[in-house]
Amino acid sequence: MWLNTIASGVVSAGTCGSLLAYSFGSHPGVTGLQVLTISMASIITGGLIHIVARTLLDAGDRER
């Protein structure tokens, strides 16, 4: 289902993008805690999208 692809993209962009950008040199005023907060928020958001996708797939199976 396409929602799982979106969930993977959210997690990848949120974690890898934030950590890589921080490793190349942080912008003044951006702390490691803020980067970790963004990473955790993206993991949680991706997980919630994945759960919605699983719920929709289970509902579709029950209708058949």
Alpha helices in 2-31 (DSSP H): 2-12, 18-23
How far apart CA 49 and CA 33 sit, in angstroms, is 24
- What pLDDT, on the 0 to 100 scale, is given for residue 26? 63
Residue 30, token pair as written in the block: 């951006």
- Residue 47's SS3 state is helix
- What pLDDT, on the 0 to 100 scale, is given for residue 23? 81
Q: Is the pLDDT of residue 63 over 70?
A: no
pLDDT, one tens digit per residue, over 6-58 is: 999 999 999 998 888 888 876 667 788 888 999 999 999 999 999 999 998 88
In the chain the first and final C-alpha atoms are separated, in Å, by: 17
- What pLDDT, on the 0 to 100 scale, is given for residue 64? 57
**pTM listed for this prediction:** 0.78
